[in-house]
Amino acid sequence: MKILVTGGGGFLGSAVCRKLASKGHEVKTFQRRPATHLESFGIHSTEGDITDPDALLAAAEGCDAIVHTAAKAGIWGSPETYRRINVGGTANVIAACSEHGISILVHTSSPSVVHAGGDIEGGDESLPLAKHFSAPYPETKAEAERLVAAANSNELKTTALRPHLIWGPGDPHILPRLVEKAKGGTLALPAPDKMIDTIFVENAALAHVKALEELASGARCAGKAYFITNNEPMPQGEIIGKLLAALGVEVKIRAVPAGIASTAGAVCETLWKTFSLKGEPPVTRFSVEQLATAHWFDASAAERDFGYTPTVSIAEALSILSRQGL
């Protein structure tokens, strides 16, 4: 198949592209900057903005499928920007599928779309989308997921995947933030004993390829959303400690009351809004909400419906991270 990967030059998108190319697919990327690091895999890079429908239409012409990984992630930022990219960009992808008769769409969503503020322990796909959100990222990802589900039809088979806390060599998000926060040798967490799921980037990419292959040959996953994890939940403090250790960072993890952390998040948000401070606040209510609760999932539906099982264990992934670094 000829497949367009939006955000293909990014962390997850690059891994998806490499896996698709290794299976003999013709792959092209669509992102704002050239993805020259993928040229050696025979992958063609197309530059453009996901919010530009004409550029996306041109890139998608002749394709059989789209894997939509492009998104604005983060804990802070303008709600309008998140909506323009995550919701508007997804609407543009669906419109391109319709215009060109593209029959397969795999969309990268997030488990945060179901997080209502409390613990999630062994949660499965019966969990409803949350009604209220503490940040624009999960809110707009939920809106985008609704669009993808509504677009599913006989002409366009869609599925949404919810990979949880993707990490690995080249990670531009989670690992650099952890390293930065651990510089002083101590890392404060509101709930270091709460269990969480994570996923190694190569396993997340594998899940996208498996879902695409299922949509191409059947329809068991069409119109549905799936949690994607490494199937190895661990206490938050333990996995963070292991990740930092793999990067050669020694840190002592200590607990801080969730109430104090939440108050600090609210204060930081107020300061950043009031004084238009640059960058992200060191803590927000959303980040505390994530850090103060358990969130691990039953990913058996992904195995049942499109054959996803992790091929790289956390122990193996940590070894890879230790060798390759960021």
Alpha helices (H) in the chain, listed in sequence order: 11-22, 53-60, 79-82, 89-100, 136-151, 174-181, 201-217, 236-246, 258-275, 285-291, 300-306, 314-324
CB under 8 A, 24+ apart: contacts of 32-36: 33/9, 34/9, 35/8, 35/9
Residue 18: CB atoms within 10 Å: 20
Of the listed 82, 137, 226, 308, which one is catalytic?
137
What CA–CA distance (Å, rounded) separates 289 from 284?
8
What CA–CA distance (Å, rounded) separates 243 from 322?
9
Distances (CA, A) of 238 to 72, 145, 167, 245, 289: 28, 31, 15, 10, 18
- Three-class DSSP category at 229: coil
Which residues make Cβ contacts (< 8 Å) with residue 310, sequence separation at least 6? 199, 200, 203, 206, 229, 230, 231, 232
Sign of CA dihedral 204, 202, 283, 90: negative
Sign of CA dihedral 280, 283, 286, 290: positive
What CA–CA distance (Å, rounded) separates 189 from 241?
11
What CA–CA distance (Å, rounded) separates 92 from 112?
23
Active site residue 226: no
Do residues 150 and 217 touch, judged by C-beta distance below 8 A?
no
Active site members: 137
